[in-house]
A and B are shown apart, each in its own frame.
Chain A
Amino acid sequence: MDKLFQVEFGGGEKIIGKLLEVEAPETCRQFWESLPFEGKVLHGAFTGFAMFFFVELKVGKVENPYLCGGKPGDMFLNTYATKGLLEGKPLREEIIVPYSTSGVFWHWAGPLPSNYFAKLADTSAQELYKIGRRLKEKGAETIKISRYDQG
């Protein structure tokens, strides 16, 4: 059975997502084990129409990597395969979620091959776009992710 999870944004929107365990098994395993999760989600500065949030995963390997071609609602784990420091500290792994097309995963240290490991419901594309634009206008907000009970 597919493993489903629910993403809740600061504006109250709730979107169901599905893990892609065949394509990215280790990323999915660690993500699933980390739930429930709560953090801050922010608009990207380099990757285009995408939002991101830091996570405490230690996948440390590239599996099912993408640099571009992400669609709205696709979820990627940037494992910082290319390393990189910000303000003198190593960067934490982060999850990137495009909310429109035209995203390329990169930053100042180069391309960021990121593990495509989950997908939000197709029906959420319009809602996700509104959330993305809100993040850009109003800044960071809370994000909560929990396992979705299918029973």
Chain B
Amino acid sequence: MERFIKLEFQKGGAFKAKMLDNLAPKTCRVIYESLPFSSGALNGSFSGYVFYLMKGFDFHELENPVVFGAQPGDIFLNTNANCSVFEGKILPPRIVVAYNSSVILQNWAGYTPSNLFAKIVDADMQKFYQVGKRIRWEGREEITFSAL
């Protein structure tokens, strides 16, 4: 049976996402078993129109990895396959969400192949873009992930 999750934004907006269990079963399981959770989100600095969660996950395997071609609403787990270090610490695996096209998943250490594990569905993607833009212009925003 298909599984769905909800992303709810502190400053307004809630969106449904479909888990891609067929494509990334292990990643989906790790994320789904962590629900519900909340985390601050920030706009990416290197990848373009994405925001990422500060919360880390303990899952390091690459399955269904993507670097190019992300579409608005695609949800990834960046497992930090390139072992990037920031301010002296190895980054934990984090959720990355594309809110527009023209995304390349990368950082200062190179490409960051990330597991595509869910996708926003049944949504006004223009509204979703505006939420992403708000995070970019207004800074950190809390997002709550829960099961639907």
Contact = CB atoms under 8 A, between A and B. Distances in A.
B48 A136 contact: no
B137 A45 contact: no
Contacts of A108: 48, 101-102
Interface residues of B, number: 17
A107 B102 CA distance: 8
B48 A140 contact: no
A102 B108 CA distance: 6
Contacts of B108: 48-49, 101-102
A138 B49 contact: no
Nearest to A40: B137
- Residue of B44, B46, B48, B136 most packed against chain A (CB within 10 A): B46
B45 A49 contact: yes
Contact of B43 (A43, A47, A49, A101): A43
Interface in B42-57: 42-49
A107 to B, nearest CB: 7
- Residue of B47, B101, B137 most packed against chain A (CB within 10 A): B137
A48 B42 CA distance: 13
Nearest to B44: A45
B48 A107 contact: yes
Contacts of B47: 45-46
A44 B47 CA distance: 10
B138 interface: yes
A42 interface: yes
B36 interface: no
Interface string A112-132: 000000000000000000000
A135 B137 CA distance: 9
A137 B140 contact: yes
Contact of A43 (B45, B101, B102): B45
B72 to A, nearest CB: 13
Interface string B23-49: 000000000000000000011111111
B13 interface: no
- Residue of B42, B43, B45, B47 most packed against chain A (CB within 10 A): B45
9 contacts: A43-B45, A45-B48, A46-B48, A48-B45, A101-B108, A107-B102, A108-B48, A135-B139, A140-B137
Interface of A: 42-49, 101-102, 107-108, 135-140
Interface of B: 42-49, 101-102, 107-108, 136-140
